C-alpha cells in the first residue's frame, strides 16, 4: 500500500498521540495549614442559617432509630429541620428514578 502525503499526516499524529498520552507526570499538592479563607471578612459559617435537613421533624426520632445518632445529629452537628421533600420521596418509593 502506497502512503500518500494525506495519509502520512494523520498516521504521524496518531503515533505521536499514543507515545505522549502514555507519559505521566507526578502531581504535587501543597497544603498550608495556616491559610484561612473568608467571604467578605466572615471566617466562620453560621450552620443554622445555611444547613437544614430535608425533614420537617415529624417522626424524626423514629426514622433515625438510634438515640446516640439522633444526639449526634441534633447536638454535635447542629442540624435544623427544613421541609419535607415529598416529591423526591415519591420518586424513590414508586419509580426508583433518584
Phi, psi of 2 (to 5 degrees): -90, 120
User: Which residue in 47, 49, 74 sits closest to 60, CA to CA?
Assistant: 74
| Site of grid cell 454535635 | 76
pLDDT digits (tens, 9 = 90+) for 53-64: 777 778 888 888
Question: How many residues are given for the chain?
Answer: 98
pTM: 0.35
Which residues touch 94 (CB under 8 Å, ≥6 apart)? none
Q: Name the residue ranges covered by the structural domains of the chain.
A: 52-98
pLDDT digits (tens, 9 = 90+) for 22-71: 556 677 888 888 988 888 888 887 766 666 677 777 888 888 888 898 88
b (16+ CB within 10 A) / e for 33-55:
eeeeeeeeeeeeeeeeeeeeeeb
Amino acid at each position: 500500500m502506497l502512503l500518500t502525503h494525506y495519509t502520512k499526516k494523520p498516521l504521524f499524529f496518531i503515533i505521536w498521540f499514543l507515545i505522549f498520552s502514555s507519559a505521566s507526570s507526578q502531581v504535587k499538592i501543597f497544603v498550608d495549614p495556616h491559610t484561612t479563607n473568608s467571604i467578605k471578612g466572615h471566617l466562620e459559617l453560621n450552620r443554622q442559617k445555611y444547613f437544614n435537613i430535608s425533614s420537617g421533624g415529624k417522626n424524626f426520632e423514629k426514622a433515625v432509630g438510634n438515640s446516640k445518632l439522633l444526639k449526634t445529629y441534633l447536638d454535635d452537628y447542629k442540624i435544623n429541620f427544613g421541609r419535607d421533600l415529598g416529591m423526591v420521596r415519591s420518586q424513590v418509593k414508586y419509580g426508583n428514578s433518584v
